[in-house]
């Protein structure tokens, strides 16, 4: 059910954190992996080695600034030359916290560009080929903040809510396209809660500082605020879920956002 041999997967923002974990799990399932980050990312070689060791028959790094639509189109063309994109995981994202009146205009622009507009461009580029080949899986890494809000995250919450809505629209547009025998085309979101990645490191450090420099106490304070399970999500858990959403067993799951949030959105 989770054999992805012969499939090519592009995972954006995949040299560290959640993206690398997803790429690694897809590699274990047999997919060829197109890794992505900013040009010159120092982690690219190590990431390629990790996914190859995990089982990817081939792995290649592609550098592109996804805040730039032109760079996105060049990225998608380059990856298509590497292998037709059967699986697209949009994971690249940025974060910045401040109240609305303190939020720099340029931060709004960059967060919307990277966390929302970039995904419009990658999906638009990938979907025609998916439809032609009869199979496609798009997994957009949203956030619990695509479902609920938190203070001091105006652009991030706006982008993630927009991503959830956009994914629903595209899921509906492609629900009956592709080849039913091959599994058709699905578009879904994963909504992580607190997951220990570089993206939230600043928030962990701030909480640790308030706890007198105790990192574990800082993490506990963050979890106590929102996540009832009191456990950080493992990036490998998100990778396993992404693999499932790409599998034949998930051929009729489309247009949904699955929270992985320890009960956050159940409250």
Residues with active-site annotation: 156
- Total Cβ atoms within 10 A of residue 160: 28
C-alpha–C-alpha distance, residues 177 and 135, integer Å: 9
C-alpha–C-alpha distance, residues 211 and 213, integer Å: 6
Buried residues in 121-154 as b, exposed as e (16+ CB within 10 A)? bbbebbbeebbeeebbbbbbbbbbbbbbeeeebb
C-alpha–C-alpha distance, residues 86 and 126, integer Å: 8
Q: Report phi then psi at 119, rounded to 5.
A: -75, -35
- Is residue 208 within 8 Å of 217, Cβ to Cβ? yes
- Is residue 98 within 8 Å of 152, Cβ to Cβ? yes
């Amino acid at each position: 059910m989770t054999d992805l041999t012969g499939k090519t997967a592009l995972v954006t923002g995949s040299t560290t954190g959640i993206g690398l974990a997803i790429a690694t799990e897809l590699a274990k399932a047999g997919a060829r992996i197109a890794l992505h980050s900013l040009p010159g990312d120092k982690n690219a070689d190590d990431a390629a080695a990790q996914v190859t060791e995990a089982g990817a028959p081939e792995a290649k790094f592609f550098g592109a600034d996804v805040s730039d639509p032109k760079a996105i189109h060049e990225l998608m063309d380059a990856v298509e030359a590497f292998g037709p994109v059967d699986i697209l995981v949009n994971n690249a994202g940025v974060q910045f916290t401040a109240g609305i009146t303190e939020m720099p205009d340029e931060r709004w622009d960059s967060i919307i560009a990277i966390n929302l507009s970039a995904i419009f461009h990658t999906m638009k580029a990938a979907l025609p080929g998916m439809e032609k080949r009869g199979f496609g899986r798009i997994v957009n890494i949203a956030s619990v903040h695509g479902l609920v809000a938190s203070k001091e995250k105006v652009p991030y919450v706006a982008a993630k809510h927009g991503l959830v809505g956009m994914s629903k629209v595209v899921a509906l547009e492609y629900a009956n396209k592709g080849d039913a025998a091959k599994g058709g085309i699905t578009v879904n979101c994963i909504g992580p809660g607190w997951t220990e990645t570089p993206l939230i490191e600043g928030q962990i450090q701030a909480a640790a500082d308030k706890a007198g420099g105790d990192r574990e106490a800082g993490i506990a304070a963050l979890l106590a605020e929102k996540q009832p399970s009191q456990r950080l999500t493992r990036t490998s858990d998100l990778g396993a879920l992404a693999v499932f959403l790409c599998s034949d067993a998930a051929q009729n799951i489309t247009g949904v956002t699955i929270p992985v949030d320890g009960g956050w959105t159940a409250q």
